[in-house]
Amino acid sequence: MTKVIKKDGRISRFYIEKIESSLESAERVFDVAFTNDKREILNAVEEEVLKHDEIQSSEIFNIVKEALKEEPLILSAFQEFKKVEQKSIDEAVDLEFQFSRFDNKDKNIMNENGNKDSRTAMTQRELLSGVYSKAKGLKMYPEEVQRAHVKGIIHLHDLDRSPYQPLPNCSLPDFAYMLDEGVQLGNARVEKPKSIATAVSILGILISAISGEQYGGVSVHELDKLLAPYGEMTLEKNRQLYFEVLKDAPEVEELARKKTRKDIYDAMQALEYDINTMTTTTAQTPFSTVSYGLGTSWVEREIQKQHLKVRYDGLGKHRITAIFPKILYFVQEGVNLRPGDFNYDIKKLAVKTSASRIYPDMVNIDDLMRMKGGRKPITAMGCRSFLHYWENKDGEEVYEGRNNLGVISINLPHLAIQSKGNAKKFFHMLDDTLELVRKGLHVREDSVLSASLETCPIMYTQGGLGDPTGKTSVRDFYDGDRKKQASISIGYVGVHNAMTALTEDEHWHFQEEYNDLGLDIIRRLDAYAKEINDEFLATPSVYATPSESLADRFASIDRKRFGLIEGVNDKEYYENSFHYPSYLNIDPVKKMSFESQYYEYTPGGFMFYIEQNNLSNNLRGMESLWDAFNHMGNIYAGVNSPNDHCKACGWEGEAAFVKDQGYTCPACKNFNPENMSVVRRLCGYLGHPNKRPVVDGKQEEINSRVKH
C-alpha cells in the first residue's frame, strides 16, 4: 500500500475515499457539479498515486488539481473547501475568535454541560476560563491530533481543564484514609470525626474540594461501610446518654438505637442538601456518586435505609428529586437479591426509591467481579468509568485512592461514512485513528505527571490517592508499586450509526453477520488498548462514552462534511456508545441481550438503561426489571422512570417537551422552569433540562426515547 507522508512528517495510508468525500463536500457546499465522469477522474487520481511507494501529501494535492483541470468549477470549489477546513482548524486555537463566540453566547459553549447553570456570573466566568484553556490546551497536542479533533474524527475531552491545566478526570478517593487520618483544608486542620454528623459534614466538604482538583465525578465507595465507624460512635454516645438517665433499664438500647436512627437520617439529609446546594470551583453541582448495599451490621443497614428514605422524601416542601449524589445500589446473591436474604428489605426500599427518583441504579456485583477478576466490588467513577482489577505490592486488592487520567473518543460514524461501506478500509481508518488517540493520551498522561503536589493538594498531599508518606512528586503516585493503579480511556460514539453507514440497514442489530461486525469494531478497540498498555503508567481501557454534548457535536460536524445521510446522521445526535437506538421500539429483554454482548470489550466503563412510564405504583414491575438485569448478567443498569412535579398546581407525572416553550405541565400548562421540576437522565447522570438547558442534539435524543 502506498504510504502518504504528511507535511508534519507523519506517515499514513492512502485512501481515495477521503479525496472522494472532500470532492462531494465541495460539490454540496458550493452547489457545483461534475461535467465529466467523476468515477473516471477518481480512478485516474488513484492510479497515479499508487505508482508511488511513498508520496508527499502536497504531491497528491497536485495530482488532484491536475485531474480536475477540465473541471474548473469543481477545482475552485475543492480548493475553497480546503481553505474553509483549514480556517476552522486555525480558529480552534485563535483566542480572539473563541472569545468572540463566548461574547455572542454561542449555545455550544453556554449549554455544553447540563450540570452548569450558564445564567449565573460564576458559571459564565468558568466558561470564559474554559474558552482560554481549550484554545491553549489544543495547541499542546501534535498537529495531526489537533486537526482530527477539529474535524470531528476524535474528541479531546475536558479541554477546558486539561492538558493546559494538569488535572485528571474522575476519581474514587480514599475517603476512609482521609477521615481516619485527618486532613488539612485551607487554614484548618480537620481531625478524625467523633460522630456520623461530623463525618458526613467533612465528607461533603471533601467532595466539593476534590471536585475543584479534577474535572469528572467524585465517587464514595460503599458509603455504608465508610461511615459505619462514626455511626457506631454516635450509637455509643446515645447509649451513654440514656444510661445516665435510665441506668440499667432494658429500654436503653432501644432508645439509643431510635435516636441513632434519627441522627443517621439527619446526617444523610444534610449530605443531600450540602451537595445539591453547593457550587464548586468548576461552577457546577459536585458530580458525585455513592455506593452501598452490602453492609449487614445494624449501623450499616441504617445508613443504607436512611439515605434511601431521604432520597425518596425529596428536597424541600415540593419534594424535588435530588440530582446528586448519584446512587449505586450493589446487589449480590445471598446478601440482598432474593426474599430471605438478610438485606432484601433494603433492596425493596431501593427499588421503591428508584421508581420515584430514577436513582439508585443497580450494580450486579457477582457479574462485575467475574468480569473484573477481583474479589471485591468496584464503584464506578463519575457516571460509568470503571477501574480495572489491581493489587498493591502486598498482594492486596485496592480500589480506593485511584482515578482516571482522561478520555479521547472516536467518531465511529465519521470513519464509516468516509469508508463508503468498505469494512476493510473502515478498519484501516480505525487503526490510523487509534494511533492519533494513542498520541493524544500520552499528552494527557504526561500533563498529569508534570504537575506539582500542590496542584491537587487534597489528592496528592492529604490522602485522596492514599497514604502520601514518602511521595515527593506526582509521578510517585502513578509509578513504582502504584503503576497501573489509574486508568486512561479510549472512548467511542455511535456504533449504531456507523453500522448503518457500513451496511445501509438501520435494523442491522439482530442479523448475525452484521452483529459480528459491530462487535468486531469494539473488539478492535479493546485489542488496541491491550497492545499499548506497556507504554503508559495508567492502564488504557475502552470506555463507552456517555457523550452528552459530544453526540451532538460529532453529528453536526458530519452533516456539514458529508451531507444528510438517512438513518446515519439525519438526527441531531449520534447514539451513545453501543446503545440500541433510542428511537426504535424494542422490548427490555431483547435490548439487554443485544447490548450485554459489548460489556467485556468495554471494561473501562459502560451502562445499560431502559425507558419506562413512571413505575412508582408498580413496584413489582420495577423489581422484576432489576431481577431481569441480574439474571441476564447485566452489570450496571438503570430504569428511566420520570416523575416530574409542577409547583404551580401540584401535578406529578412525565412532562412533555413542547418546541419553543420547553417542558410543560399538561394540567395547568405551566412551563416556567422556576415552577416546574423536570428531571431526566442526560447520559449517566441526571439533570434539570428545563432550568439548565442542554445542547440541541441531546434534547432531541431525550425527546426521541421510546418506552420499552
- In angstroms, the CA 224 to CA 62 distance is 67
Find the catalytic residue in 242, 460, 528, 543: 543
- In angstroms, the CA 484 to CA 388 distance is 9
In three-state secondary structure terms, 279 is: coil
Find the catalytic residue in 25, 133, 354, 385: 385
Find the catalytic residue in 548, 575, 623, 700: 548
Residue 665: active-site member:
no
- In angstroms, the CA 368 to CA 75 distance is 56
Tell me the residue length of the chain: 708
Find the catalytic residue in 231, 638, 684, 697: 684
Q: Is 13 buried (19+), middle (13-18) or exposed (0-12) by CB count in 10 A?
A: middle
For residues 185-202, one letter each, b for 16 or more C-beta atoms within 10 angstroms of the residue's C-beta and e for the rest, the string is beeeebebbebbbbbbbb
DSSP 94: -
Contact in structure between 488 and 405 (CB atoms under 8 Å): yes
Q: Which of 498-506's residues contact partners 24+ apart within 8 Å by CB, and which partners?
A: 498/412, 498/413, 498/415, 498/416, 498/426, 499/416, 500/567, 500/568, 501/413, 501/416, 501/417, 501/421, 501/565, 501/568, 502/416, 502/419, 502/421, 502/423, 502/426, 503/421, 504/421, 506/567, 506/581, 506/584
Q: Is the CA virtual torsion 155, 159, 161, 163 positive or negative?
A: positive
What does the block give as the cell for 499?
A: 453500522
In three-state secondary structure terms, 158 is: coil
Residue 170: active-site member:
yes
Find the catalytic residue in 140, 362, 383, 646: 383
Contact in structure between 481 and 474 (CB atoms under 8 Å): no
Fill in the amino acid letter for 228: A
Residue 383: active-site member:
yes
Residue 599: active-site member:
no
User: Cα dist. 377→283, 343, 396, 497 in Å?
Assistant: 32, 17, 14, 34
Residue 381: active-site member:
yes
Residue 385: active-site member:
yes
Find the catalytic residue in 140, 233, 381, 622: 381
Residue 543: active-site member:
yes
- Residue 382 gets the label, from left (phi > 0), alpha (psi -120 to 50) or beta, of left
- In angstroms, the CA 444 to CA 448 distance is 7
Find the catalytic residue in 169, 238, 403, 634: 169
First to last CA, the chain: 48
Residue 649: active-site member:
no
- In angstroms, the CA 690 to CA 655 distance is 11
Find the catalytic residue in 170, 362, 622, 646: 170
Active site (catalytic) residues: 169-170, 381, 383, 385, 404, 543, 548, 684
